[in-house]
Homo-oligomer: A and B are copies of this chain.
Amino acid sequence: MKIAILGMGAVGRGLLEMADQKDLGLVVTGIADSKSALMDKDGIHIDEVLEAKRVHGFCGDKSLSAVDIVNHADYDVLVEVTPTNATTGEPALTFIRSALERGKHVVTSNKGPIARKYSLLQSLAEKHGVSIRFEATVCGAIPVMHTLTQGLAGNRVLAVFGVLNGTSNYILTRMEAEGLTYEQALLEAREMGYAEADPTYDVKGIDAAIKLVILSNTIWGLDTVLEDVEITGIDCLTTDALRLADDQNCTIRLIAQSIPSRGVLRVSPRILPKAHPLVVEGTLNAVTIETDMAGEITMIGKGAGSVETASAIIGDLMFIRDHYAGCH
């Protein structure tokens, strides 16, 4: 199966390394970073590209760009792993639309386009008889989309709850375990590389809300956007609040929840018993799917990381290979 990759950040490089090391039947015929691109219908030498990126900071020909790859490379699946723009979804949104209009499958880790234009992209994919998959946008390595759409097939999903942001969870875990203030824990998260210089998206619950929008739209075919989510972050939480929870053998976690039958679409700090399955430690993610037959299914795993995200992307690629490469 021929794939073209847009984006050579940590995720793009992680994916290339896995495609090189594992015998997955993937041939990379196009690659683009922000400065350059290259294509070869017979397959690009992955080790050479990774070396070029490491040495020169760009991967290919500076007269080519991502647009050229999308429109002219010979591929079956476009793997779109450029940085997220949560406001417009661009330029990823245009790349994805162009690929779908060429009748190419798309796999993306990019939350922007999916949170902004899910139903449009989905109908575009259907019109052209291809698939758009985005397991990597929510809960990193946890195959939650796959479980919702395949593993729990036949179930009606009633609600979804989750710890969808690892940075916030790390901060809460450290405040709880060491009695740190929010500011101290945030500083530590930054030092560990878990929080960015501007942690707004994470600590104010926006990242979790974007993922909740993606989950809700996928599960229930809704067309909600970020502005529909009622959001409270963790940045006003005090050590006292955590201590009070602890007195009752409880703790506080930033929980995203969507219950359409009750009109609930919310991200907020919640007090939970310590034994609750969603009370996970450190940067872990967790999601509970409430269904009519299977009851509550909880999945826990790493929410970020280049190889972990590559795992989700590869799961999507294998799905497309198995479903479209001919009947079984």
Residues of A within 8 A of B (CB): 18, 22, 24, 141-143, 146-147, 150-155, 274-275, 277, 279-281, 291, 293-302, 305, 307-308, 310-312, 314-315, 317-319, 322-324, 326-328
Answer whether A294 and B298 are a contact pair too, CB < 8 Å, given A154-B22, A314-B153. Answer: no
Contacting residue for A147 out of B143, B153, B277, B328, CB 8 A: B143
Known: A147-B146, A153-B319. A293 touches B280 (CB 8 A): no
Pairwise interchain contact A298-B297, C-beta atoms closer than 8 A: no
Whether A302 lies near B307 (C-beta < 8 A) is no
C-alpha gap A32/B12 in the complex (Å): 54
Q: DSSP majority for the A interface?
A: mixed
CA distance A18 to B291 in the complex (A): 13
The reply to whether B307 and A293 form a contact with Cβ atoms under 8 Å apart is: yes
CA distance A205 to B275 in the complex (A): 24
B301 touches A294 (CB 8 A): yes
Known: A146-B150, A154-B317, A327-B327. A301 touches B295 (CB 8 A): yes
Interface centre among A274, A295, A327 (most CB of B within 10 A): A295
Q: Verify B319–A291 contact, CB threshold 8 A.
A: no
Query: Complex Cα distance A11/B322, Å?
Result: 31
A-B contact pairs, 6 of them (CB 8 A): A150-B315, A154-B318, A277-B300, A297-B301, A323-B328, A324-B328
- Which residues of B have CB within 8 Å of A317? 154
Given that A150-B146, A153-B318, A328-B323 are known contacts, is A299 also in contact with B298, CB under 8 Å in the complex? yes
New contact pairs (11) apart from A147-B151, A300-B300, CB-CB < 8 Å: A18-B293, A22-B154, A142-B297, A143-B150, A143-B294, A147-B147, A275-B281, A295-B302, A298-B299, A323-B328, A324-B327
CA distance A13 to B296 in the complex (A): 21
Q: 6 nearest interchain CB pairs?
A: A143-B151, A153-B318, A293-B311, A154-B314, A141-B294, A146-B151
Q: Are B150 and A319 in contact (CB under 8 A)?
A: yes
- Complex Cα spacing A155 to B146, Å: 15
Contact B153 A315 (CB under 8 A): yes
- Chain B residues with Cβ below 8 Å from A150 are 143, 146, 150-151, 315, 318-319, 322
Nearest B residue to A320 by beta-carbon distance?
A: B328
Q: Which residues of B contact A141 (CB under 8 A)?
A: 293-295, 297
**Given that A150-B146, A300-B298, A319-B153 are contacting pairs, would A311 and B291 also be in contact in the complex, using a CB cutoff of 8 Å?**
yes
Cα A24 to Cα B152 with chains together (Å): 13
A276, closest chain B residue (CB) = B281
How far, in angstroms, from A143 to B317 measured CA to CA in the complex?
20
A24 engages B308 (CB within 8 Å)? no
A152 cross-chain contacts in B, Cβ below 8 A? 143, 311, 315
Q: Which of A275, A279, A291, A312 has the most CB of B within 10 A?
A: A275
A130 to chain B, nearest CB (A): 10
The listed residue (B24, B275, B277) touching A154 by CB distance below 8 A is: B24
Return the contact of A308 from the options B277, B293, B315 (Cβ within 8 A).
B293
Residues of B within 8 A of A322 (CB): 150, 153, 323
